[in-house]
Amino acid sequence: MEPLSPKKPKTYSAKFGAFRQGMRDGIPIGLGYLAVSFSLGIAARNAGFTAFQGFLSSVLIKASAGQYAGLLVIAASAPYFEMIVVTIIANIRYSLMSFAMSQRMDPDTPLYHRLLMGDYITDEIFAISIARPGYLNPFYTYGAAFVAVPSWAVGTALGVIAGNILPLRVVSALSVALYGMFLAIIIPPARKNKVLAVLVLVCFASSFASSMLPWLSTLSEGTRTILLTVSISSIVAVLFPVDWKSDSDSESDSESEMP
């Protein structure tokens, strides 16, 4: 039997160390996911999901906005095509995160690692992964996902179970908690950017108006979401384009001022 190469123990040790570090950094993310996904489970229960179906949906999707949009479409008995389009629109930002992460990976990283890392991208896992110095170690992302993803799925299942046990008034109150999560996402950036703040108000007003206008009100909720998302984002992109040059200049200026 040939002796092991001296490089292999070092490689395995580095993988285990990165995985353990990812697990440690993923604990607070998992705790947050457990609380937020509980409200998502209430929405899944309202859409007719069982606890196992809610658990499985969270294991496969791992995206709060996209998953909630899909639940709304399912509750409205919309066609599969509409569900696919709504989910793609809600989750399209993850493609941009994937591009950013691919630029930070070792060029020799195998394709299966790239695919797995792409499947485990969430806002929070992306944030802690991209902040790592040097090349991204896939096992760091796996460690974070090992804690965060089960927490998200278990929280969803618990929300479904609670929705089947708790009184209807309590279930209705818990259903509102998910909207609080979305408010926590949009309010901080809206306070820093006046254009974004106005855009949020326009989106709220447009969504309400679309449910009242004669032709738009006849469309399903998922179709209205698709039309509003694409049209409003396209108009704002044309009228208020992001000045990437000035942003990069300001970042470089701030870096040059650092000691």
Higher pLDDT, 99 or 51: 51
pLDDT of 52 above 90: yes
Q: Is the pLDDT of residue 231 over 90?
A: no
d(CA 122, CA 220): 28
Work out the pLDDT band at 55, boundaries 50, 70, 90.
very high
Domain ranges of the chain: 7-188, 193-259
Tokens of 181: 């999560």
For the chain, percent of residues with pLDDT exceeding 90: 11
Nearest Cα residue to 82 out of 203, 222, 217, 237: 222
> Which residue do the tokens 């797995």 mark?
116
User: What is the per-residue pLDDT for 249?
Assistant: 47
Confidence of residue 149 (pLDDT cuts 50, 70, 90): very high
**Mean pLDDT, to the nearest integer, of 184-190?**
72
State how far the Cα of 58 lies from the Cα of 70, in Å rounded to an integer.
Answer: 11
What is the DSSP annotation of 126-177? HHHHHTSSSSBPHHHHHHHHHHHHHHHHHHHHHHHHHHHHS-HHHHHHHHTH
pTM above 0.75, yes or no: no
- pLDDT tens per residue across span 117-142: 888 888 888 888 887 888 888 999 99
Distance of CA 225 to the CA centre of its chain: 18
Tell me which residue has tokens 């007719």.
48
Q: What is the pLDDT of residue 257?
A: 38
